[in-house]
Structure 1
Amino acid sequence: MNRPENPTPDEPPTSDARGDAAAAERAPAQPIDWAVAARTAAALAPPGPRMSARQARAETEGLRAAAEASVPHVHRLTRLAAAEDLRDSQLLVVDRGTWAKANTHSFQALLRPTFDHLARTRPGEYRTSTHPLATRATATELGGILAWLSSKVLGQYDPFSALTPGPDGDRRPGSGGRLMLVAPNVAMVRAELNVIPEDFRMWVCLHEQTHRVQFAAAPWLAEHLRDEITGFTSAMFDKSESLSGRLRAALLAARPGGDEAGPADGAADGHGVPAPRGGLMAALHDEEDRARMSRLTAVMSLLEGHANVVMDGVDASVVSSVKTIRRRFGERQQRRSPLDRWVRRMLGMDAKMRQYQDGQRFVTAVVEQLGMDGFNVVWDAPELLPTEAEVHAPEQWVRRIRATA
C-alpha cells in the first residue's frame, strides 16, 4: 500500500510553502538539516502491504468513517464536552512516508526553543555543531529512526504541529493539532490478527480520538508539555561536555511517535514525550533532571492510560469482536523478533508499554472513587496533573483533589 491518498500533514492549510522556504533560508543554522531529515524519512520508509487502488481507497474511507463514528463513544465515555467540537484539529489518513516526513516537522517545533537556548548560551560550540556535514549526518540518523518507526505506528495525535511557526515566525492562526491514522499499518496488523476490519478500525480510532479530545479539553497542555521538554533537553545540553555527544539523546527524548493502540503495546510515544526509563537514564545528571523526567512520565501515563480506559470501555454493542481483538493483539506482542525487541529497548519502547499499564490502573482507580466527572478535573490546570508517585498511588491524588475541592 504505497499511498492511500495524498494528504500533506506537514504543510498545514494556512501555510505558504514559498514563504516557509524563504524563512528557512533566513533562519540561523541548526544542528539538524531538517530538509535532509524529511527527505530521508520519506525515502527510507518501507512500503506497506500490496493493495490495489480499490483496496487502498476502501481502507482510507473505512478509517475515516471509523474515526468519525468513534467520537460519540469517546464523548459518552469521557464526558468531556470538547468531544462535541474538534474542528480546530485535523484528521488525516496517511501512508508511512507521509507520517515519517510529518514527524520531522514535529521535531523541529519541539527542539527549536532548545536550539535557540544553546545558540545564546554556548555560541562557539553551537556554531561547530551546525557545520553542514554534521547537520546532514544527524538529519540522516533522525530520518532513519522515523522511517523505522513508520511501520510500527497505527495512529498518532500530534499536538505540536500547532506550535510550528509560520513564515513570519508566529504560530499559524487557526491551526490545531493533527490526528494521523497510518492506513497501511492498520491494514497490516488487522490482517495479522485476522479480525473484522470495521471492528479493528473502530478499536484503533477510539484510542486515537481520545488523545485528540484530551488536548481539546486541556488547551494549555501542548504548551505545557513543550515547556517541560525544552527544560529537559536544554539541561541535557547544558551539562554536557560535547553538544554532539548529547544530540542523539535529545532526539530520543523529544521523539514524536505514535501508538500501536493497545493496552500494553505502544510502538512509540504519540506526543513527543520521552519514555521514562531506558537509555535516557544515563542523561539524568541531577535531581532536577530526574524531576523533569518524572513529570513527563506522569503526564504520558495519564494520557495513555486514559485512552486505554476509553478503548476498553466499549462492549460488543460497539465493537462486536472486542474480546478477540484484545486477546490477539496482546498475543502479537509476544511474537516479536529478537532484533525488533532490541531496537525497542534501545528507543525506550519497553518503558512506553509500562505507561499504558500504569496509567490505566491510575485512571480506573480514580474513576471508581470520584466518578468520571471527578476525574476530569485533571484537565483543568497543570497543577492538577498527577505526579509519578500519585500515578502509582491513586489514592494520594484523590486525597489532594478532595482537599482542594
Structure 2
Amino acid sequence: MNLYRSARAVAGASGDDVIDWQSAADAAKAVTDPGSLELEPGEREAYARDVRDAREAVRTVADVEFDVPDTVEIQNRHHWIDANIATFERVMGTLENQFQTGAFPGVARTVNTGTMTVLLAFLGRNVLGQYDPLLLAENPEESHALYFVRPNILNAADKLDVDADRFRRWIAFHEVTHAAEFGAAPWLSDHLEARMEDGIAALSDGSFDRNAFRDLDAAMTVVEGYAELLMDHAFDGEYEDLRRKLDARRQGRGPLQKLFRRLLGLGLKERQYQRGKHFFETVVTGHGLETATLVWEGPEMLPTQDELDDPTLWLQRIDR
C-alpha cells in the first residue's frame, strides 16, 4: 500500500466531471493490497466446477433455464476495482449537474474523487463474489459477469476458521442464484434500470421520487430473499455455520467499519436479505416453491412493501 501515491492521485484529479474516475481508481488501488492470484494446482478448475455444479443444482431446484455469464473471472482486489469503476461512473454520471456547484469546482472534484476512493478501497477489500448484471451499460448486448475476489475469499475463510474450499463453493452457489433470477426474469434488468433512472433523475432535479426508491428497494429485497431460498434448496452441504459466522463477524466490526457499511448501504442490503427471507419462507411453507417462483412472471407480480411485511396480502392478490 502507498498512501502517498493515493493522496497524489486524488490531488491530481482533473477533467470536466464531478469525479475523476481514473484518479479514484488509481488512488483506491494505491492503498489496497491487490492480494495473490497465484492459484494452487487445480484451483481454477475447482472454481469452474463450483459454478457448473451450482448452475445445474439451481436449474433443477428452480425449474428454470438460464446460463452463467460468459465472463467468469477470478480476480484480485485491483481487478475488482477496475471492473466496477465503469458501473459507478454510469450510475453517478446522471447526477453531475446536481453536484456541479460552487465557485471552486476543482475543489469539489477533489473531494468527490477522494470520497469515491474510500468507497472503492473499502469494497475492494471486502467483496467476496459478485454477480454483475451490468445495469445501465451503454451496449445493451453486453453480457453480465461473475467475479470471485480470491484474496478476500481466502482471507474471510481464514478469519472465520472455515474450510476454504467449502466457503468458496458457498459463494459460487450464492452468486449463481442471482444469475438464475435474472435468467428467469428477462424483464428484471429493465425494471431495475427504469426505477433507478427515475430516482436519479429526480435527484438531479433537486427532488426525491419516493415511489421509485421504494419500488427499487422492494425489487432488491425479492432478489436477495429468493437467492437465499434457492440456496436452502440447492446447496449440497451445510452452510448455516457459514452464515452464522459471517453475521457474527459483521456485528463485531469496529465503529469505523460499521459507519462505512451504513454509508455504503450495506446495512440496507442485510435488511433486504432478512425481509426477503421471511417473505419467501412464509410463501413456501404454505404454498411451495412453485408459488414463490411466480414473482418472476412480470413486474406486476413483485410484492409491494406492505406485501413483503405481510406475505398473505401478496398471496391474496395473486389468488393463492
Q: TM-score range by the shorter chain?
A: 0.7 to 0.9
Describe how 1:1-400 pairs up with structure 2 within 5 A. Answer: 29-48=16-35, 53-55=38-40, 59-82=43-66, 85-86=67-68, 89-115=70-96, 118=97, 126=100, 131-160=105-134, 163-165=136-138, 171=139, 173=141, 175-239=142-206, 289-314=209-234, 318-319=236-237, 321-400=238-317
Instruction: Give 3-state SS (helix, strand or coil) of 1:160's partner.
Output: coil
| Counterpart amino acid of residue 120 in structure 2 | L
Instruction: Give 3-state SS (helix, strand or coil) of 1:65's partner.
Output: helix
Alpha-carbon spacing, 1:78–1:140, altered in 2? closer, same or farther (3 Å): same
Instruction: Give 3-state SS (helix, strand or coil) of 1:40's partner.
Output: helix
Displacement after TM superposition at 1:73 (Å): 1.4
Is the contact between residue 119 and residue 264 of structure 2 (CA under 8 Å) also seen in structure 1? no
For residues 293 and 184 of structure 2, the distance between their equivalents in structure 1, rounded to whole angstroms, comes to 9
For residues 44 and 39 of structure 2, the distance between their equivalents in structure 1, rounded to whole angstroms, comes to 10
For residues 177 and 54 of structure 1, the distance between their equivalents in structure 2, rounded to whole angstroms, comes to 24
Instruction: Give 3-state SS (helix, strand or coil) of 2:261's partner.
Output: helix
For residues 298 and 338 of structure 1, the distance between their equivalents in structure 2, rounded to whole angstroms, comes to 29
Residue range with higher mean Cα deviation, 125-134 or 222-231? 125-134
Is the contact between residue 37 and residue 76 of structure 2 (CA under 8 Å) also seen in structure 1? no
Alpha-carbon spacing, 1:392–1:374, altered in 2? closer, same or farther (3 Å): same
Uncovered stretches (5+) of structure 2, i.e. residues with no partner: 1-14
| Counterpart amino acid of residue 356 in structure 1 | Y
RMSD between aligned alpha carbons? 2.8
Alpha-carbon spacing, 1:96–1:395, altered in 2? closer, same or farther (3 Å): same
Instruction: Give 3-state SS (helix, strand or coil) of 1:313's partner.
Output: helix
Displacement after TM superposition at 1:355 (Å): 0.9
Displacement after TM superposition at 1:237 (Å): 3.0
Is the contact between residue 37 and residue 150 of structure 2 (CA under 8 Å) also seen in structure 1? no
Is the contact between residue 78 and residue 310 of structure 1 (CA under 8 Å) also seen in structure 2? yes
> What is the aligned-residue identity percentage?
32
| Counterpart amino acid of residue 185 in structure 1 | N
For residues 313 and 223 of structure 2, the distance between their equivalents in structure 1, rounded to whole angstroms, comes to 18
For residues 382 and 130 of structure 1, the distance between their equivalents in structure 2, rounded to whole angstroms, comes to 44
Instruction: Give 3-state SS (helix, strand or coil) of 2:19's partner.
Output: coil
Alpha-carbon spacing, 1:135–1:227, altered in 2? closer, same or farther (3 Å): farther
| Counterpart amino acid of residue 61 in structure 2 | L
For residues 330 and 312 of structure 1, the distance between their equivalents in structure 2, rounded to whole angstroms, comes to 17
Q: Give TM-score, length-normalised by structure 1.
A: 0.68
Instruction: Give 3-state SS (helix, strand or coil) of 2:74's partner.
Output: strand
| Counterpart amino acid of residue 290 in structure 1 | R
Aligned to 1:13: none
